[in-house]
Amino acid sequence: MGQIYYKTEEEIDLIEWNCMLVSKTLAHVGSLLKPGITGAEVDAKAEEFIRDNGALPGFKNLYGFPSTLCISVNEGVVHGIPSDYEFKETDIVSIDCGVYHNDFFGDAAFTFAFPNASEETMELLNVTNASLYLGIEQAVSGNRIGDISYAIQHYCEKVHGYGIVRELVGHGLGRNLHEAPEVPNFGSRGRGHKMSAGLVIAIEPMVNRGKRQVKQSKDGWTIVTKDGKPSAHFEHTIAVTDGEARILSDHSIIEEALKNNGEMKNFSIKN
């Protein structure tokens, strides 16, 4: 990915504004979701929300991607294109969102569960989300990227027996959506780039209920599990400090929107 760019406090504040708008957009999406609605409908509402708040969709037309949101259903891991598929009561849907404003990007993702998603699948969501925070705990000055990677992989694979996707990773974020360093969800403690205050990275575990292997769909974008089992994806953008990581996005407002949405699964995230 090339050179690593450290950010000033002022730049981190700009990125935080963007990440908060991403979070608010995902909360807006969470308030709209219900069985029968389509990804295309949700995508249009998300774009409208972002533009109404004075920003631009960060994903749309980037690398040729056609939409504001990446919407990946059930066995979809990431990069799903919103479509006219009507969501079903048993579905889970991973929604990844980015915005661009004041020369910087924001990025976050959340996996939503429809009302009749299985308990087995809900456990996958809880474990994936918990692993995100275990990774964030390791994102402190003096630690290495591999410390984040190991924490996520050990919890998901060794403790819970899930599959960690290898082909897709987290990343630095700033004036570009994807910057150095890469942040894998697998690896060894004490390896990789040594982190210092001012590093901004997106940590995003992508975890399969079955095996880790994935493939690309015929649309050229959507990544799905090879065994057809569900996959979950949660993402925060964080800034490394000399103490605890500063989380620039906010999932709590998304969870609150879900609590107020009687059409969706209300579940307590364990972290």
Q: Convert the pLDDT of each residue in 52-73 to its tens digit.
A: 999 999 999 999 999 999 999 9
The confidence score (pLDDT) of residue 270 equals 47
Torsion angle of the four alpha carbons 109, 115, 118, 120, in this order, in degrees rounded to the nearest 10:
40
Quick check: is 264 in a domain? no
In a domain, 268, yes or no: no
Whether 145 maps to a domain, the answer reads yes
pTM over 0.95: yes
4 lies in some domain: no
Q: Is 232 helix (H, G, I), strand (E, B) or coil?
A: strand
Q: Which amino acid is at 148?
A: I
**How far is Cα 48 from Cα 25, in angstroms, rounded to an integer?**
10
Decide: 107 and 127 in contact? Cβ < 8 Å: no
40 within a domain of the structure (yes/no) = yes
**Mean pLDDT, the chain, as a whole number?**
96
Q: Tell me phi and psi for residue 214, to 5 degrees.
A: -130, 170
CB-based contacts of 187, cutoff 8 Å, min separation 6: 145, 146, 149, 150, 153
β-partners of residue 99 are: 57, 106
Burial-class residue 262 by CB neighbours within 10 Å (0-12, 13-18, 19+): exposed
Summarize pLDDT for 217-236 with one digit per residue, the tens: 999 999 999 999 999 999 99
Alpha-carbon distances, residue 116 vs 17, 34, 122, 183, 229 (angstroms): 35, 11, 10, 33, 16
What confidence tier does 7 reach under pLDDT thresholds 50, 70, 90? very high
The pLDDT of residue 1 is: 59
Q: Which DSSP category does 224 fall into?
A: E
How many separate domains does the chain show? 1
Q: Is 28 inside a domain boundary?
A: yes
In a domain, 44, yes or no: yes
Q: Residue 140 falls within a domain, yes or no?
A: yes
Q: What is the dihedral of CA 259, 98, 8, 145, to 10 degrees?
A: 80
Please, which pLDDT band fits residue 271 given cuts at 50, 70 and 90?
very low
Structural domain of 134: 9-259
Amino acid letter, residue 143: N
- pLDDT digits over 120-175, tens only? 999 999 999 999 999 999 999 999 999 999 999 999 999 999 999 999 999 999 99
CATH of the domain at 68: 3.90.230.10
Q: What's the burial of 31, exposed, middle or buried (CB within 10 Å: 0-12/13-18/19+)?
A: middle
Percent residues over pLDDT 90 in the chain? 96
**Angle between helices 119-137 and 145-153 in degrees, nearest 10:** 160
Helix, strand, or coil here: 107?
strand
Q: What is the pLDDT of residue 267?
A: 58
φ/ψ of 241, rounded to 5, equals -130, -175
Q: How far is the C-alpha of 106 from the C-alpha of 163, rounded, in Å?
A: 27
Exposure letters 228-251 (e unless 16+ CB within 10 A, then b): ebbbbbbbbbbbbbeeebbbbbbb
Least confident of 1-5, 10-14, 19-23, 31-35: 1-5
